[in-house]
Amino acid sequence: FAALVPVTLLITYIIAVSDDDVYPFFPYVSDTGTLPPESCVFGQFLNIAALLILITVCVRYKQLDTFWSSQDAATKFPKTNNVALVMGVLAALGLSIVANFQVDHVKSVHIIGAFFAFIVGGMYFYIQAYISWSTRDIPGSSKIVRVAQLIICVLYAVFAIIGTIS
């Protein structure tokens, strides 16, 4: 996922600029995936990315569920894990909606998909960081992973604010 999305954006940008469909200096991401053929590439790759997100969310859910079922003390986190699962699924669905409903053709649906992908997806990041910091004995949750999650959450907040303002 982490490699697929930037590659997708780069490919659709190159196609859109070469076809003179967008202005080459910092076009909106959604504008580079509006017209064929770049819309086809944009949609296909983002659908694959959404599937990868869905798989990742489900694996993380199951990892935490299995860990907590073997523990006696965890009472509040299984509910938090369920909320995170729902948010992760909605974020993946939102990315698929963004991929398939171009901003120039069905703007309201595209915006709803973007809300789920970016806002609900961001909330998923925060919940996972909270879980990792609250239960430090989860396998694979080293201090460096927790710090990286925190940095990603802070960067997400900064970029979300910048994106909202601009």
Would you give per-residue pLDDT tens digits along the chain (166 residues)? 788 989 998 999 999 999 988 888 888 878 887 888 989 999 999 999 999 999 999 999 999 988 888 776 555 678 899 999 999 999 999 999 999 998 888 999 999 999 999 999 999 999 999 998 888 788 778 899 999 999 999 999 999 899 888 7
C-alpha span between 35 and 63 (Å, rounded): 40
Q: DSSP letter at 2?
A: T
Rounded Cα–Cα distance for residues 111 and 136 (Å): 36
What whole-number distance in Å separates Cα of residue 43 and Cα of residue 63? 30
Domain locations in the chain as residue ranges: 4-165
CA distances for 44 relative to 1, 40, 63, 78, 84, angstroms? 13, 6, 29, 34, 26
| pTM for this predicted structure | 0.88
User: Read out DSSP for 4-36?
Assistant: HHHHHHHHHHHHHHHTT-S-SSS--TGGGGSST
Q: How far apart are CA 138 and CA 161, in angstroms?
A: 32
